[in-house]
Amino acid sequence: MKTASLRTYLYKSVIVGLVPVLAIVNLQSGTLAAPTKDSKSKTPAKTLTAKIGGSAPAKKSVKAKPPAQRVVAPQNNSFADSYTLGSGDRLRIDIFNVPEYSGEFFVLGDGTVNLPVVGSIPVQGLTVQRASSLLTAYFSRYVKRPIVTISVLAPRPVQFAIAGEVTRSGSYTIPFTADNRKFPTISQAIQLAGGTTQTANLRQVQVRRAATGRIISVNIFDVLQRGNTSQDITLRDGDTIFIARAEGVNAADRLRLAGSNLANQDATVKVAILGEVGKPGTYTLKGDSGGAGRVTPPTLTEAIKIAGGSTASADLSRIRVRRNTRTGTGQVVPINLLNLLKAGDFGQDIILQDGDTILLPTATEINTVNSNLVSASNLGPQAISPPKVVVVGEVNRPGTYTVTGAGNTTNNNTQLTGTVALPTVTSAIQAAAGIKPTADIRQIQLIRTTRTGEQRIALNLFKLLQQGDTSQDIIIQEGDRIFIPVAQNSTAQDVELVSSSTLSPATIRVNVIGEAGISGGPREVPPNTTLNQAILLAGGFQNVRANKSEVDFIRLNPNGTVTKRLIKLNFARGIDPETNPRLQNNDTIVIGRNNLTRIGDGFSTILTPFNGLLNILRF
């Protein structure tokens, strides 16, 4: 043999001989047990004779060949690099050119694999590469330059636990398949657990590795918000996932979560709704079926509508949703649905979850603009019957009325059926035959019974007539009491404005009797009619008999008394409380006789008996 070839041969022999020694040193530094000199083999001696170097002739020793000559079944590189062995794995272990020691083996419950010659070897928690190095070190005492190849034929399922704000916390198992040897991710684990609750904090999900005890924090919400899949890490066998409760509820985040596949897909929830709604109680709500087989969970506004809508006394800016969390602590979510009605803030219409309690509080101060806005929305009263209210004070027909928005009413206790518009205070006043001219519409009081007691609302309908402020004409609800006081100081302009409005009756009834041009009696005249106008509507005066300078004016007062006064007529003057007052319902005007007529009627009365006697004498 030439000197160069001999040098190369010796160099390769030294290098190959050092491989088992280096493997043992490396594994001992990793706290893994290596074979000792006292290790005993249960393999028969005659079998070892042909395999163990030094106890048999060199020509019979096993010599390793290049591993490239061995064909191994392809595996997923990421799987093979990251998979750690554990109890239940089915392995294929090949000792190159030593089929007696090769075969299929299971990792036992104690994390060991029982092999020929070397016995039980602990492989729990080792990667395939490290386990191959460990077995190489063990077999190096019995086989010269062994080449050990490990293939995972049937990996054990990945078992993990998930707790916190998920629908169904507990332990889950995801098996590997022949077609899929990818490790499951956190998002897959959440979906398997039924999705998250609405109080889940996906920005701080914690994963605890069983093998190392290391805790990894990931931001799963970043996956939903920006598609950052690097946060959706893969799981390992024995991992524990914990999803904490969010301290505050971000409505926009909740909507984004609800639209993802990480949310609870069971869209049926049972909630309680209390306070200022038509029908407080417990309700079971079902979500809305949408496209692609997805169901949208029910929202807060849907619950309010099912409960009969909010009352006119509800303060939608201070709604509270009390929510139980998986950690056992309660959470109160403040909601302002006025922002939804005014600015279209859909983030306020939060997704409900099972067990929520919704409270609509009573408004401490009534804002008529907000009240009308709510009543006119689909969050307002959903009742099918018109409300029954009481109207008293300066109206023509005080009493109890069932009022519809269109102005059609029934009084007493008669109920109306059918769809109701939106009855207002003016609708109730019209139902009571309108106000009297003496009514003070600047200080109308509406007394309302709420869930927490009585509420007094001051209304100024004069602003409605003078400025067009429709916020003063608020929506009424069942049980409201409307009181219209007597005006203390009304100007002629105020009376004229009120009398010509729809708050006054369409007509009033007055009596013009005595020496009128047309036979006297009750007459229907428009509101705001003056005394002079009523006389003219009655045909004026009888030219010969009537006293055209004065009339008697009689008025029935609200307190039951009667006022009678003599009014000097002056048709040249306009409206004047003294000479030409505005008339009210049931006023009476008596046109008297002039002096000549009185004298003539007196003589006629005296002469009437003599006229009868003269008629007898004629016969």
pLDDT single digits (tens) 383-411: 557 888 999 998 888 999 988 865 444 44
Q: Name the pLDDT band for 540 (thresholds 50, 70, 90).
A: confident
Task: Assess whether pLDDT exceeds 90 at residue 217.
Answer: yes
CA 430 to chain centre: 38
For residues 610 and 359, the model is more confident at 359
- Architecture in CATH for domain 158-258: Roll (3.10)
The stretch 202-208 carries a mean pLDDT of 92
pLDDT at site 43: 39
**What radius of gyration, in Å, describes the C-alpha atoms of the chain?**
50
CATH no. of 268-323+332-376: 3.10.560.10
* Structure tokens, 176: 């590997």
Task: Assess whether pLDDT exceeds 60 at residue 345.
Answer: yes
pLDDT of 528-538, one tens digit each?
788 888 888 88
pLDDT of 465-478, one tens digit each?
888 888 888 888 88
pLDDT at site 72: 32
Task: Assess whether pLDDT exceeds 50 at residue 31.
Answer: no
pLDDT at site 266: 66
The stretch 166-171 carries a mean pLDDT of 88
For residues 40 and 614, the model is more confident at 614
The stretch 290-298 carries a mean pLDDT of 62
Crossing angle of helices 128-139 and 3-29, in 10° steps, is 110
Task: Assess whether pLDDT exceeds 60 at residue 54.
Answer: no
Hey, which of 211-220, 417-426, 511-520, 601-610 has the most confident mean pLDDT? 211-220
Q: What percent of the chain has pLDDT over 70?
A: 76
The stretch 200-209 carries a mean pLDDT of 90
- Architecture in CATH for domain 3-154: 2-Layer Sandwich (3.30)
Instruction: Domain ranges for the chain, please list them.
Output: 3-154, 158-258, 268-323+332-376, 388-499, 508-598
Q: Do domains 158-258 and 388-499 have the same CATH topology?
A: yes
Average pLDDT in the chain: 77
pLDDT at site 79: 63
Torsion of CA 174, 180, 181, 186, to 10 degrees: -50
CATH no. of 388-499: 3.10.560.10
| End-to-end Cα spacing for the chain | 193
Q: CATH says 508-598 is which class?
A: alpha beta
The CA distance from 584 to 408, in Å, is 24
Pair 81, 129: CB distance under 8 Å: yes
